[in-house]
Amino acid sequence: MSVYYYEPFYNFDRLLDAFGSRPIGQQLTAPNDPTTSVFRPKMDLHEDATKNSVTATFELPGLKKEDVQIDVHDGRLTISGEVKTSSEHEEEGYAVRERKYGKFSRMLRLPQGVKEEEIKASFESGLLTVTFPKAAPETAPKKITIS
């Protein structure tokens, strides 16, 4: 049997230490500190020259497609949603708690020449794949007549 020492104010003290020791103007969250960081989906971005498209793949483990919203506005794609806490266990009693919960949002500026009305998305096994078809590049320069 393992013995766990419980310190009820550990997270509170740690947060105060992080707040007091940071330089003015820096963000409060430490990059690899699970107690103060927020869920941010990881993303891969791939351009396929043969299909003339760009594909973004987001890792969203444990979410359903109903929990995710996709918006396109002013040349920006925004993926947002919420990772809900598990109601399986009570708040007290955790020895280790590394999973992150809460609302998230990830914005991506769309590449030049993307057809916004033809963007498609699919969600399978915790992976959201968004495909952006690009307009065919113009091969010849456009001639403008002088009036």
The CATH code of the domain that includes 118 is 2.60.40.790
Query: Is residue 79 situated within a structural domain?
Result: yes
Q: What residue type is assigned to position 20 of the chain?
A: G
**62 and 52 within one domain:** yes
What local confidence, expressed as pLDDT, does residue 142 receive?
Answer: 75
3 contact partners, CB below 8 Å, separation of at least 6: none
pLDDT of residue 121: 95
Q: What is the pLDDT of residue 13?
A: 64
Q: What is the pLDDT of residue 35?
A: 45
Which domain range does residue 81 map to? Answer: 39-87+96-135
What are the tokens at 101?
């919960």
Name the stretches of the chain with pLDDT < 50: 24-36
Q: How many domains does the chain have?
A: 2
pTM of the predicted structure, to 2 decimals = 0.63
Shared domain check, 33 and 44: no
What is the structure's pLDDT at 89? 65
For residue 8, the model assigns a pLDDT of 66
Work out the number of other CB atoms within 10 angstroms of the CB of residue 146: 3
Q: Can you give the pLDDT at residue 134?
A: 86
Contact 81, 60 (CB under 8 A): yes
For residues 27 and 82, state if they share a domain.
no
